[in-house]
Each structure stands twice: as structure tokens, then as C-alpha cells.
Chain A
Amino acid sequence: MWDWRSQPLTVPSVIAMLIGAVVILLLALGVVTYTIYVQRRILGWMQLRIGPNRVGPLGLFQTIADVLKLLIKEDVVPAKADRALFMLAPIIAFVPSFTVMAVIPFSAHNVFTANLGIGVLFYLALSAITIHGVMLAGWASNNKYALIGGMRSAAQMLSYEIPLGLSLVGVVLMAGSLNLNDIVLAQQHAGLWNVIPQILGFIVFLIASTAELNRTPFDLPEAESELVAGYHVEYTGFRFAFFMLTEYMYLFAMAGLCATLFLGGWSGPLLPGWLWFAIKVFLYIFFQFWLQATLPRFRVDQLMTFSWKVLLPLALVNLVLTGVVKAIW
């Protein structure tokens, strides 16, 4: 197992780390680009239409064209906006979304993974920072829709952080470690993916992560039909692209987390580890798109009630059950 921390901090190792980060960034960007493409194709298929098929073969370059368009668009900062915060917000939102990739083990040889002992906590802590970016964006835009969207987003992400965190604790108890690599190894060792013994936790995780990602049916912060676009309504061009990037980056990261924690990560028979990981990630992402094509949106108060009165008790029950079973075994 490769471990960055055991390497001495020399010039070549720093350069290697930098290269590693760039490679991961490029990988993540590639995944995001084609996640968006796949999303549009899947939604198109589910909604009796075709989806993008014009730019490049099968429309494969559609997202690239969209990104290019966003990059060359005028960068508008509203006159009454809080300029400094307005420009800072997308960065605050994006940086953690990329940083969390550091702890996700992509494959058995995970060269590019920081083998952190507190991997799960690291993920939760960093992803919470994005909320600040979203809230700041809503506030700095000086737009009522953006403000409401930002506030809703903050309230929602905070409320769902708790069941999400608790649902992970069950897995952590099973493996006896917060290190994501160890969790994968524990599953491999047990010969059983956590999704089966932790089914309750998995359900809570699935729901809470959907809410964390602001995806249907929890897409209130950017409810098109109510808030126009939520917190990023005033953003254009590159800054808007950053918010979109953040969103899909988290989708990828959350899928990675789900695969690692509940579906055995890169472990699996026959196929190479990275392919198993990719398949599991894709399953999670597909599930999200499927939800998006199927469900209407929750109402904001129902959303909160659901988190505190349903998910949180469920997560606690799961935690207690896991603890009891673990103690008896």
C-alpha cells in the first residue's frame, strides 16, 4: 500500500504530490464532464426524448462545448453585490469539493490517495465548508431569490449532515477504523459488503446524501420553479461554472464515498479494482439521475421534519443496533 505520509518531504516527493493532485483534478474534471453528458442522455431516455447528440459523435463533446461557452461568457458582477464575497464564494464552495477527493481510494493501489487515518471525518468536515460558499453566494448576490436559496441550502445541508454522519458511524464501528482504505480492506476481509449488515445505515446514507447533494427530491435550494435558480441566480460564466463543477464534483465524491463505505470500494472478483470502483460509482450516480427523473420536490418544512423526525432516529437506531451486535459478537 502506498502511503504519502511515510515518504520524506523532499523536492521530488512534493513534485510527485503536485502531479498527483493535477492528475486527480483532470480525472475528476473528466468524470464531471461525462457525468453531465450521461445525465442528459439518461434523462432524455427516461423522458421520451433524445438528449444531446449534435456536438461530436453521439453528442460526446456537448459538455465540453458548454464549458467553453461558459468560459468565454461575460463575467457579470451585479452592481449592488458585495463584490469581494461574491467573487470569493465560488472558490470557497469549490476547493473543498476537490479536496475531499484526496481521501477516496480509487483503486487497490491508490497511489493518489492520502491514506488519512481520519478519512471519514475529513470528508464530512471539508464538505461542510462548501455550505459557507453557498451561503456567501446567496448573501453576496444581493438578490432575494439567491438569499432564500442560500439560506435554504445551508439549513438543509446542516440538517442532513447529522443523519449522514451518524449513518457513517455504523460502518466505522464495523471496520473499527476511520480510514477509508481500512474500511475497504475490512469489507474485503469479511467477504461481505457493508450494504448488507448496514442496510439501515445504507438507506439513511442514500437519502441524506441525496439531500446533501441538493438533488431531487431535495433540490429546494435551486428549485427552478420557485426560486428561479437559488443561490447562483446572479452568477454567470466562469463563476457559475464553478458552482456547477462543485455540484458534480460532490456527486462524484459522494458516489465514491458510497462505493467505498457500503459497496466494498475497489474490491470485487475478476475485474480490476478501478473498474469495480467505476461501476459502483456509476450505479450511485445513475440512481441519482433516476430519482431526478421520477420524483417531485419536497417542501422546505417537510424536508426539515423528515430529517429530524425520521432520518435521525433511524440513524440512531442503526448505530445502537450495530454497537450491540458488535459487542455481542
Chain B
Amino acid sequence: MSLIDEKDQVRTEEMLLNLGPQHPSTHGVLRLLVKINGETITDVEPVIGYLHRGTEKLAEDLQYTQIIPYTDRLDYLAAMLNNYALCHTIEQAMDLEVPERAEYLRVIVMEMQRVASHLMFIGAYLLDLGAMSPFLYVFADREQIVQLFNEICGARLTYNYMRVGGVKWDAPPGWLEKVADFVQYLKQKFHMYDELITGNEIFLARTRGIGRFDTETALAYGLSGINLRSTGYPWDLRRKKPYSIYDRFDFDIPVGQNGDCFDRYYLHLLEIKESLRIVEQALKSIPSSGPVLGKVPKMIRVPAGEYYSGIEGARGELGFYIVSEGKDKPYRLKIRKPSFINLQLLPELLRGQSIANVIAILGAVDIVLGEVDA
């Protein structure tokens, strides 16, 4: 038996590599069946559903307010945004007015949440690429946000803070000042991250030009959020379909140039900056007092009909589609899960790449399995 055939070519065989569901870099319980030929990927099949809890089915038996804690568990890195997306859809459906102070508090916590989530992305992504320290650095900063959230709603991860028509708790005394301090603190830290990571040659070599796709592909696959913006397309729902009070703030939508992994990383960093800008402005103009929960009926009944509205979540467009019969429970609740939709492009991105790029590309797509599997 010789490994060399007549044409003097080494006979090779495709190998099926099973990545996950227990794998340090799949950010949860994603399983990838990777077919590799040598070190080149010939095909990838993502297998999901290991964290499927049937949120949509469960929601059919829950009153609207009771669904809110379930949304916390979708994208558990951005629970505030999930909370809001659901409340927003219900408020749209019921034409509810939200008090000013509540709107501002919402924007503050949402943007802080976006910062926390993006920080987490940066840390986890660098960890995927083999750098351990940034992960711990961002955790130290994220911890401060988590502490602030803990003060305002008593939870560190699953906040259950928003309510239909407002928020559950007003900010405790001194909280807004703490947020302002934190914003200043992170602004300084921001440069450190930028210098430490963005300028690192090894990091650049591993992310520049890797996992590229263009706007057309992104739109065809329904990608949203940073994945879409990294291709240079300024699609941000906070601007394109303004909700809440985002039309009052001055902020930019950073877009990428090449649609590669580096752009996706860098946009996370830039968006942190923009979010901090929004928080700063919100802190300046928030009414000093006032109700935080609007006039909402005791029992929330969404009028019969079907409603869809999406917001700019941390990972893309997070939307809720509700079919109501006019009862206190939805007839059908469907979640437009940005991670789920963004993940679809992964096989396309990975085909033909080196196995060493799997983690770099997967990490940059930025998924949270709690949301993918819902």
C-alpha cells in the first residue's frame, strides 16, 4: 500500500470534524459539522436547537407582561434590548403613550446594554483569536454596567426591567450621576482598547480580508446590524425607522468598508462610542422627575390584529410579530431573531476557507445561542 498514486499525488480524504456543541469557541451550544480536506473547508453544516426552549410556544400561554422575563433569556447579553423590543411592539399595537422620563431611562439602559454587549463581543472575539487578557479587561468594564443595572432593577443578567408603557423602577437617587461617571470612565478606556487591539499586527493579519461578503449578499440573506453595516450599508433602524426618542439624539452610524471580520470588530468598537454619545445626551435632557409608567390598563389586551415592529438590537434587527385575538395572551408570537438569521450565512462564508479561519469568522458573526435557538 502506497500513499502515492501513479500521478505522484498524495491521496487525500475528506475528514468530518465535529465542532461542538461543547466547544470553547462556539459561544454556547452551536454545533458545526465541518468537512475538511487537509486544512481547507469544503462544507459546513450548522446544527442548532440545543438550547431550544420553545419561547414562542410558551408565550402563547402567557399574559403579555409575563412574557417579558422570557425575552431576557433570548439574547442574554442584551436583555434590556429584548425587553424593549417586546414592549415596543405591544405599545405600537395599543397606541400607548410612554412618559418622557421612562423613554429616557429606556434609552439610557438600552444604550448601556449595547455597550455591555459590544464589549463582551470584543472580549470574546479576542479570546477566540487566542488573546486572553482583553476578555478579562472587558469583563471589568462590563461589570460596572452590570452593577448599575443591578441598582436600577435588581438583577445582573436577566433584568425584566421594561414594562408595557414604561419601566418598572425609577432610577434610584444618584444613579444617573453614576452613569455619567461611567460614561466618562469608558470614554478614556476606549482609547486603550483601540490602541491595544486595533493596532495589533497579528490581529490585523487574522481579520483583514477574512470572511468577506458584500451588501447584496447581506441583504439577500436578511442580515442586519453590524453584519450588514460592515459592508458599507448604513442600515440602522434607530435612524431608518426611528423608534422611542432616538430622533432627538445626535449620533452617527459607523459603516465598514470591506465587509470583513476586521470591519465587524471595529464597528463594535465605534458603536460603543456612539452609544456613549447617546447616553451622554440623554443624561443631559432627561426630565428630573415624572412618572415612569404610563397609563396602562391593569390587564393588557392587545387589540385583535397582527403587529410587527423591529428595533436595532445589539446583534441586528430584533423584531416581534404578534397575532392577537384581543385577549390578554397572544395568539401567536414570533421573534425575528437577528442571530438566527445572521448565522445562515456562515456556511457560505466558510466554504473554501482554511480551518484556522473558522473561529475568526464565526466569532465575528456575533451570535448568541440563546437567541438562535430561542
Direct A–B touching, Cβ under 8 Å: yes
Question: Which of B17, B18, B200, B356 sits near A296, CB closer than 8 Å?
Answer: B200
Question: Which of A145, A148, A226, A293 sits near B132, CB closer than 8 Å?
Answer: A293
Complex contact B17–A144 (CB within 8 A): yes
Output the least CB separation between B44 and chain A (Å).
15
> 1/0 per residue B23-35: CB within 8 Å of A?
1110000000000
Measured CA separation A26–B347 after assembly (Å): 52
B185-224, CB < 8 A from A: 200, 202-203, 205-206
**Cβ of B122 under 8 Å from chain A:** no
Complex contact A226–B25 (CB within 8 A): yes
Which of A1-9, A77-85, A298-306 sits within the interface? A298-306
| B contact residues around A144 at 8 Å (CB) | 15, 17-18
Complex contact A301–B24 (CB within 8 A): no
| A contact residues around B356 at 8 Å (CB) | 220, 226, 299-301
Question: Which of B136, B137, B200, B354 sits near A301, CB closer than 8 Å?
Answer: B354
> Provided the pairs A226-B356, A226-B358 are in contact, do residues A294 and B133 lie with their beta carbons within 8 angstroms?
yes
> 1/0 per residue A92-112: CB within 8 Å of B?
000000000000000000000
Which of B52-60, B123-131, B231-239, B242-250 sits within the interface? B123-131
> 1/0 per residue A295-317: CB within 8 Å of B?
11111111000000000000000
Measured CA separation A43–B357 after assembly (Å): 27
**Cβ of B359 under 8 Å from chain A:** yes
| B contact residues around A217 at 8 Å (CB) | 130, 202
- Nearest CB in chain A to that of B39: its residue: A300
Output the least CB separation between A218 and chain B (Å).
10
Interface of B is mostly: helix
> Provided the pairs A224-B24, A225-B24, A297-B131 are in contact, do residues A47 and B359 lie with their beta carbons within 8 angstroms?
no
**Cβ of B140 under 8 Å from chain A:** yes
Measured CA separation A299–B353 after assembly (Å): 12
Measured CA separation A196–B137 after assembly (Å): 36
Measured CA separation A296–B261 after assembly (Å): 15
| B contact residues around A43 at 8 Å (CB) | 132
Output the least CB separation between B25 and chain A (Å).
4
Complex contact B200–A295 (CB within 8 A): yes
| B contact residues around A299 at 8 Å (CB) | 205-206, 354, 356-357, 360
Output the least CB separation between A207 and chain B (Å).
12
Measured CA separation A220–B354 after assembly (Å): 14
Question: Which of B18, B130, B355, B357 sits near A297, CB closer than 8 Å?
Answer: B130
A199-238, CB < 8 A from B: 216-217, 219-220, 223-226, 228
Output the least CB separation between A222 and chain B (Å).
10
| A contact residues around B17 at 8 Å (CB) | 144-145, 148
**Cβ of A177 under 8 Å from chain B:** no
Count the B residues whose beta carbon is within 8 Å of the partner chain — how many? 30
Measured CA separation A226–B356 after assembly (Å): 7
| A contact residues around B127 at 8 Å (CB) | 225
| B contact residues around A145 at 8 Å (CB) | 17
Measured CA separation A184–B175 after assembly (Å): 64
Measured CA separation A76–B18 after assembly (Å): 22
Complex contact A47–B129 (CB within 8 A): no
**Cβ of A325 under 8 Å from chain B:** no
Measured CA separation A228–B354 after assembly (Å): 17
Measured CA separation A48–B206 after assembly (Å): 26
Output the least CB separation between A11 and chain B (Å).
52
Measured CA separation A57–B96 after assembly (Å): 62
A125-181, CB < 8 A from B: 144-145, 148
| A contact residues around B126 at 8 Å (CB) | 296
- Nearest CB in chain A to that of B137: its residue: A48
Measured CA separation A296–B9 after assembly (Å): 36
Measured CA separation A228–B127 after assembly (Å): 13
Output the least CB separation between A198 and chain B (Å).
25
| B contact residues around A46 at 8 Å (CB) | 133
| B contact residues around A49 at 8 Å (CB) | 136
Known: A226-B359, A296-B200, A298-B205. 19 other contacts (CB 8 A): A47-B137, A48-B137, A217-B202, A225-B24, A225-B128, A225-B130, A225-B359, A226-B25, A226-B355, A228-B24, A294-B131, A294-B133, A295-B130, A296-B126, A296-B130, A297-B130, A299-B357, A300-B356, A301-B356
Q: Residues of A at under 8 Å CB distance from B?
A: 43, 46-49, 144-145, 148, 216-217, 219-220, 223-226, 228, 292-302
| Complex A-B: 5 CB contacts under 8 Å | A220-B356, A295-B202, A296-B130, A297-B129, A297-B206
